[in-house]
Amino acid sequence: MRAVGLKERLVYREDWSEPVAQAGEALVRVSLGGICRTDLELVAGYKEYRGILGHELIGRVSQASAVWLDKRVVAEINVACGKCPWCRGGGDDRHCPHRTALGIRGRNGVFADYVTVPEANLRVVPDRVTDLQAVFCEPLAAAFAVLEALPSDGLDVLLCGDGNLGSLIAQVLKRRHRLVWVGRHAHKLALWKERGYDVRTTLDSAERFPIVVEATGNPEALSWAQSHLLPRGTLVLKSTTAAERHLDLNQLVVSEQRVVGSRCGRFEPALAALEEGSIDVESLLEATYPLQDGLLAFERAGTRGARKILLDCR
Amino acid sequence: MRAVGLKERLVYREDWSEPVAQAGEALVRVSLGGICRTDLELVAGYKEYRGILGHELIGRVSQASAVWLDKRVVAEINVACGKCPWCRGGGDDRHCPHRTALGIRGRNGVFADYVTVPEANLRVVPDRVTDLQAVFCEPLAAAFAVLEALPSDGLDVLLCGDGNLGSLIAQVLKRRHRLVWVGRHAHKLALWKERGYDVRTTLDSAERFPIVVEATGNPEALSWAQSHLLPRGTLVLKSTTAAERHLDLNQLVVSEQRVVGSRCGRFEPALAALEEGSIDVESLLEATYPLQDGLLAFERAGTRGARKILLDCR
């Protein structure tokens, strides 16, 4: 079958063997896949992953138990082992030390004709949610995960980053907090300014917030983000970077600040928000490429300021 | 008057001018002062402080309002400005950006015949608490502050560090959590083992805890501490170090861990614990030097594995 993946380098090939669903798994015909910053980091050597890339998808179930057959689905990306002490002790499956993760860790991804996924990971997409919206479910779930890292609602939050993830986080935060949103791309932020967001391209150096969310993916932004954090404040980190980042740990101690890592979220609130139409994902779309143009699509996704690039796998 | 302080280097001098209490301040005749790791870091150049050192004291009020006169006291070390937006907004005085701190920042310390302190910072020492116990009030309050950084009681906690602060933290944590305590000095830990503490000098590399408290003051210990932290776990940092420390921020994000800085605590729980006799501070004492031997005392305090060194200022 056709797929885009990492061998010794990024490749598009038409001779990948078609996956075979194991017990408890579904075979999914992929409709759309979304290229994420993590995919670019994997190509750049983060985690030494080898295999088919991609973990953001919308597809249709092709083989599975009768209840799933022919359903339009998205899929949670982490697959826990279910057997280790962490899993047996009721630990969150997103943190099983032996987990696989779709297109990231020990399990082929979605930039392909077909992918296999445990049925337990599937979520039915409501009819009102289009394919184009549904493919944003995974990053939108990651945006909702930020809420889990915050101590309460109704806080003054500084969000750093106007990329795709940043734009999803902004929409999620605006529903429950007072948001100031800083990014480097005035042309991207203009749209949100029109919609009533408090957007900035700079910040007075004396401005401090009890909550700062770092979602730029830029290693240099971390020191800046911490410099705008109040004593006893919480800094939420959303991105992994291959490059080193500097956090001032003496400042952290003296000002009794906290730094919280945040990664994948649950799909339920993301699907619900898409269904009620309260999150705009359409304006985050840059372009859609056919699967066979995957290498071009990756190149475009890697250009500075690019919005979301999709792969059409049909 | 006599005092030990930092000029271009650490000095003992007998010609410091005696302090004059300003409105709202008390003049305190110092009985005992305790040398803390922060004092050693200040001598090593941390924060470029100049002035009389010392922030751990027990003394007797010599000039003040009638209600305070002749009282045996300890003193909270942070003095907020009371005027800035942070203070006017009800911010914790320990984090006022314009604060002074006894012997650390913009305000002379306690290794002297006399020190002036705002009356609001004084706490009366209960009769049952000896001078030698009371001088441990400030570091014991810092140990109690660890509890504020933890999400609940009854947790499995790994404590790293068997120094003075570590030994106080261990006693505070043991009252409310299941504690595993790792240190490098078997001879120090032996006493606590006899008293039923789960002490170790090594740890199986696979052991992980939901809470890790780093109180070694050793920059190299941080990576090790993080390596024993579970996903979604909380790492509490207690020490500032002049040297750089490494924290794996990608690991923090992927495992959704949190790092919390913790510094000064309130004196009330510390004094209460000393009064009820539930905290042993006597066995943490290494030696007491007369004030005029302050340089020798600092030298001894800086030797590896030294317990608490006191200065007798009477």
User: Using one digit for the tens of pLDDT, what is the confidence trace for A13-27?
Assistant: 999 999 999 999 999
Residue A205 carries which side chain, given as an amino acid letter? S
Q: What is the rounded distance in angstroms from the CA atom of residue B102 to the CA atom of residue B309?
A: 18
Taking only the tens place, the pLDDT of each residue in B260-281 is: 999 989 999 999 999 999 999 9
B262 contacts on A by Cβ (under 8 Å): 253, 256
Q: What is the rounded distance in angstroms from the CA atom of residue B272 to the CA atom of residue B261?
A: 24
Chain B nearest-CA distance from A85, in A, is: 12
Contact B222 A263 (CB under 8 A): no
What does each C-alpha distance from B210 to A54, B78, B204 come to in angstroms? 31, 31, 16
Residue A144, phi then psi, degrees to nearest 5: -65, -30
A254 contacts on B by Cβ (under 8 Å): 240, 261, 263
* Res. A46: pLDDT tops 80: no
Contact A238 B258 (CB under 8 A): no
* Res. B243: pLDDT tops 80: no
Decide: B28 and B57 in contact? Cβ < 8 Å.
yes
Query: Of B204, B108, B200, nearest to B159 (Cα)?
Result: B200
pLDDT at A268: 95
pLDDT band, residue A225 (cuts 50/70/90): very high
Pick from B245, B258, B263: CB nearest A259 = B258
pLDDT band, residue B259 (cuts 50/70/90): very high
Helix H or strand E encompassing A145? helix A137-149
Taking only the tens place, the pLDDT of each residue in A178-215 is: 999 999 999 999 999 999 999 999 999 999 999 999 99
Q: What is the rounded distance in angstroms from the CA atom of residue B168 to the CA atom of residue B181?
A: 12
Across residues B118-130, what is the average pLDDT?
Answer: 97
* Res. B46: pLDDT tops 80: no
Across residues B170-193, what is the average pLDDT?
Answer: 95
Contact A261 B239 (CB under 8 A): no
* Res. A99: pLDDT tops 80: yes
A238 contacts on B by Cβ (under 8 Å): 253
B245 contacts on A by Cβ (under 8 Å): 249
Across residues B33-61, what is the average pLDDT?
Answer: 93
pLDDT band, residue B135 (cuts 50/70/90): very high
pLDDT at A300: 97
Taking only the tens place, the pLDDT of each residue in B71-109 is: 999 999 999 999 998 999 888 888 999 999 999 999 999
Query: Of B102, B144, B124, nearest to B270 (Cα)?
Result: B144
Contact A253 B261 (CB under 8 A): yes
